[in-house]
Amino acid sequence: MRDQIDPSDRWAAGRIANRTDDVRMWKTQLLKWVGAKQRFAHDIIAAFPPRFGTYHEPFLGAGGVLGVLAPKRAEAADSFAPLIGVWQALRDEPATLAGWYRDRWEAAEAGGWAAEYDRVKARFNAGRTPADLIYLSRAAYGGVIRFRRRDGHMSTPAGSHRPIHPDKFAARVAAWHARVQGTNFHARDYAESFARARGGDVIYCDPPYSGSQSILYGAQGFDLDDLLARIARAKRRGVFVALSLDGARASGAAPEARALPPGLFEREVPITLGASMLKRFQMGGQSLAGERVVDRLLLTHDIRT
Ligand SMILES: C[S@@+](CC[C@H](N)C(=O)[O-])C[C@H]1O[C@@H](n2cnc3c(N)ncnc32)[C@H](O)[C@@H]1O
């Protein structure tokens, strides 16, 4: 009888909450964030089981995959607390979130974009509120929230673009609000998120790139081996884990070309990311045509077999 179970449906026993067969492309962005995966979310989700229990996203960032999946039941987390404050406001107080952005945008329109950006940045460095973070994410150069090594201060200069109009932002908040109603948001380390996943669930991991993101939040001291050990334990409990890793650059070295534990991943799907935002930023805004990046999506189970 076992042979007759469709292997792609192994996660459908019991507490089914989510399905992937009705997921459509969706490009409306809320936050700007380095490494945001929304453009590739459809390809990433296509590798998940068609039906499963709870969806877990321990390295949420701008939630590109969460937004496209719009899960019925999910646990989403990030260790950067002000960012989780933005997500909690999106879910529970969307008008407040839209208002935070509008207040700062209008102050900038009235008093000068550069001066208001610097004011918001200084206030964020003193108080780390989600209200200031949401504006910085839209107004910072390249949408890169980076931190100075010396004192941990957010140090990105203002972007040269005009941040999105508050009416348009409010419309995005409304669209995203509807998509996160099944999700609980937590400010916590990924270790705690892993401990909460049960058999039949899916975890999607998009950790900071240990090779190139040391100026970004949480990338310093991030230990990929610890994450791999937790993935192995989750797999043994019957959790399906998908892991995005910074893959080969067409132009040079592969930062994550390291040996992975044998047998941990049964399948790998290449995801083409296009020109690297971060690299562009580090090069002072020059466009690097041809600097194509391919992310690796590693899967603990091959559900096609
Ligand atoms: C590559 S980004 C995720 C991007 C996301 N997939 C998106 O679409 O925007 C990695 C995220 O991991 C978070 N992070 C870093 N260290 C962490 C840790 N130890 N536990 C949980 N989150 C962490 C960072 O704050 C950052 O938001």
d(CA 206, ligand 1 centre) in Å: 6
Structure tokens, 151: 């004192």
For residue 2, the CA-to-ligand 1 centroid distance in Å is 38
How many CB atoms are located within 10 Å of the residue 258 CB? 12
> Where would I find the H helices in the chain?
41-46, 64-69, 81-92, 94-111, 113-127, 130-139, 166-179, 190-196, 224-236, 277-282
Q: Going by C-beta distance under 8 Å and a sequence separation of 6 or more, which residues neighbour residue 39?
A: 27, 64
**């996943």: which residue's tokens?**
197
DSSP assignment letter at 50: S
Distance, CA 7 to ligand 1 centroid (Å)?
Answer: 31
Confirm whether 1-79+188-305 and 80-185 share one CATH topology: no
Query: What is the C-alpha to C-alpha distance for residues 140 and 215, in angstroms, rounded to an integer?
Result: 15
Q: CA end-to-end span of the chain, whole Å? A: 16
Ligand 1 contact, 35 CB (< 6 A)? yes
CA distance 215 to 270: 26
- In the three-class reduction of DSSP (H, G, I as helix; E, B as strand; rest coil), residue 165 is classed as coil
Pocket test for ligand 1, best of 26, 39, 59, 176 (most atoms within 8 A of CB): 59
What would the CATH number be for the domain defined by 1-79+188-305?
3.40.50.150
How far does the centroid of ligand 1 lie from the alpha carbon of residue 189, in Å?
Answer: 10
Dist. CA 207 → ligand 1 center (Å): 5
Smallest CA separation from ligand 1 atom 7, residue: 36
Are the beta carbons of 303 and 266 closer than 8 angstroms? no
In short, whether 64's Cβ falls inside 6 Å of ligand 1 is yes
Rg (CA), the chain: 20
Does the beta carbon of 217 lie inside 6 Å of ligand 1?
yes
Cβ of 59 below 6 Å from ligand 1: yes
Whether 80 lines ligand 1, by a CB cut-off of 6 Å, is: yes
Q: How far is the CA of 118 from the centre of ligand 1 (A)?
A: 25
* Dist CA 117 CA 256 (whole Å): 35
Residue 189 beta carbon below 6 angstroms from any ligand 1 atom:
yes
Q: How far apart are CA 13 and CA 31, in angstroms?
A: 35
Nearest 5°: the CA angle 286, 41, 133 is: 60
- What does the pLDDT read at residue 6? 75
| Predicted confidence pLDDT, tens digits, the chain (305 residues) | 444 567 777 887 768 899 998 899 999 999 988 878 999 999 999 999 999 999 999 999 999 999 999 999 999 999 999 999 999 999 999 999 999 999 999 999 999 999 999 999 999 999 999 999 999 999 999 888 888 877 888 989 999 999 999 999 999 999 999 999 999 999 999 999 999 999 999 999 999 875 554 566 655 667 899 999 999 999 999 999 999 997 644 344 444 456 799 999 999 998 886 655 555 555 555 444 455 567 899 999 998 76
Contacts of 230 (CB under 8 A, 6+ apart): 190, 191, 194
Best of 28, 29, 39, 78 to mutate for ligand 1, by most ligand atoms within 8 A of CB? 78
Q: Is the CB of 57 under 6 A from ligand 1?
A: no
**What pLDDT is stored for residue 216 in this prediction?**
62
Q: What is the 3-state secondary structure (H, E, C) of 268-289?
A: EEEEEEEECHHHHHHCCCCCCC
Q: Are strands 240-245 and 292-299 parallel, antiparallel or unpaired?
A: antiparallel
Whole-number Å distance between alpha carbons of 129 and 135: 11
Architecture of domain 80-185: Orthogonal Bundle (1.10)
For the chain, give every domain's residue range.
Answer: 1-79+188-305, 80-185
For residue 19, the CA-to-ligand 1 centroid distance in Å is 24
Which atom of ligand 1 is the closest one to the Cα of 213?
A: 1
| Closest atom of ligand 1 to CA, residue 41 | 8
In whole angstroms, give the CA distance from residue 16 to residue 52: 5
The pLDDT score that the predictor gives to residue 295 is: 83
Is the dihedral angle over the CA atoms 161, 24, 67, 152 positive or is it negative?
Answer: negative
CA neighbor of 77 nearest in space, from 195, 253, 166: 195
Q: Calculate how far, in angstroms, residue 218's C-alpha sits from the geometric centre of ligand 1.
A: 7
